[in-house]
Structure 1
């Protein structure tokens, strides 16, 4: 993927972050096969528009060997995810893949509220020493539905503040290509497979795979 950006604070993200200065040292410890991972988000995580077996968490689990629990809920906003953090934490994941916020835009939630909710979600996980990878979602405005999607800038701000890795432009690229969509705001099976591959490569770059 052409454009990826990784925001890391120095030490206080989680115990698995390695405090090494060498550029060739992995930034995180590799997550073993069978490791428990939560994919947390909305319909793009759930896999709306494709068979359940084609959702990105299922495809990513096949690539990594991880035990990935799909906690994507159709229609969820950042507030909805924040309200179910207890159930997420109770899964005792070794990693959370967080992709949420597109429905906030569709429902005209104030950007400052979305930002605050994202920060609160990540803080709740970090307080339990659960690392997070943040996944940018596009602006889902009416004009973007029929043109080229682009990432909501809130994700860069939150990733920088909270010191978490950010996967950029994956969904925006997929949802700008009619061949990869089941409708204007959801991927099809091929699109979800492409996203799983992009995320896999990103996780490999930062050291989890």
Structure 2
């Protein structure tokens, strides 16, 4: 009986694993859109040290930087279609929400704005990837204990899109990797790019 239960459990776990989305790696030269706010833009570091530039070097992709300092998920949803039409990317990295949290916007409202962006990306025939942003917490920031806001995991599951989790929060939790409490420095952007690349490899979107 025990052996039968073990066998059944193994089959169940295998079935669960088979339900996970499978992605094909994007070849070098593919157009990728980095869509976000000042963190995508590269505030806190010199020109060319932003994470999209670093990620382009790691991946061989052609990454277009569509970061707008100060942007909200609420306003970014109004410019995503234009960015998609201009660049025709195969993959879009969505990094937004930090400024919304600073303004104390309800997390559910932020989630719905992000959902609209992800769906616009899908409608354009591109693959969206959600980059989790830390929850607003002055105490966690002061004690190097930032964590992802919970909406990102829920939203990634609901919309069936890959999530880059914990990377941004880990960078901002390290005082040596940030230019100020909300922006990485050059070393931090390098670490952010490496973490995103590692997560994309785990999802199968970037070749090893």
State whether TM-score is above 0.5: yes
Three-state SS of the structure 2 residue aligned to 1:96 is strand
Instruction: Check conservation: 1:45, 1:73, Cα contact below 8 A.
Output: yes
Q: What does residue 66 of structure 1 align with?
A: 61
Which digits, 9 at most, give the CA deviation of each residue in 1:122-161, with x for residues without a partner? Answer: 1111112211111100013333332221110010111011
Q: What does residue 52 of structure 1 align with?
A: 47
Instruction: Decide which of 158, 162, 172 is 1:161's aligned counterpart.
Output: 158
Q: What does residue 200 of structure 2 align with?
A: 203
By percentage of residues, which structure has more helix? 2
Asked if 1:42 corresponds to 2:37, the answer is yes
TM-superposed CA distance for 1:26, in Å, is: 8.5
Q: Distance in 1 between matches of 2:53 and 2:189?
A: 10
TM-superposed CA distance for 1:22, in Å, is: 7.9
Three-state SS of the structure 2 residue aligned to 1:208 is coil
Unaligned residue ranges in structure 1 (runs of 5+): 1-20
Instruction: Check conservation: 2:131, 2:164, Cα contact below 8 A.
Output: yes
Where does 1:119-138 land on structure 2 (aligned, <5 Å)?
119-138=115-134
Q: What does residue 109 of structure 1 align with?
A: 105
Structure 2 length-normalised TM: 0.86
Runs of 4+, deviation exceeding 4 Å: none
Q: Call closer, same or farther: CA 1:87–1:186 in 2, change over 3 Å.
A: same
Unaligned residue ranges in structure 2 (runs of 5+): 1-15
Q: Distance in 1 between matches of 2:140 and 2:67?
A: 23
Three-state SS of the structure 2 residue aligned to 1:52 is coil
TM-superposed CA distance for 1:52, in Å, is: 1.8
Structure 1 length-normalised TM: 0.85
Q: What does residue 98 of structure 1 align with?
A: 94
| Number of equivalent positions | 188
Q: Greater RCO between the two (CA within 8 Å, min separation 6)?
A: 1
Q: Distance in 2 between matches of 1:152 and 1:200?
A: 21
RMSD of aligned alpha carbons: 1.7
Q: What does residue 17 of structure 1 align with?
A: none
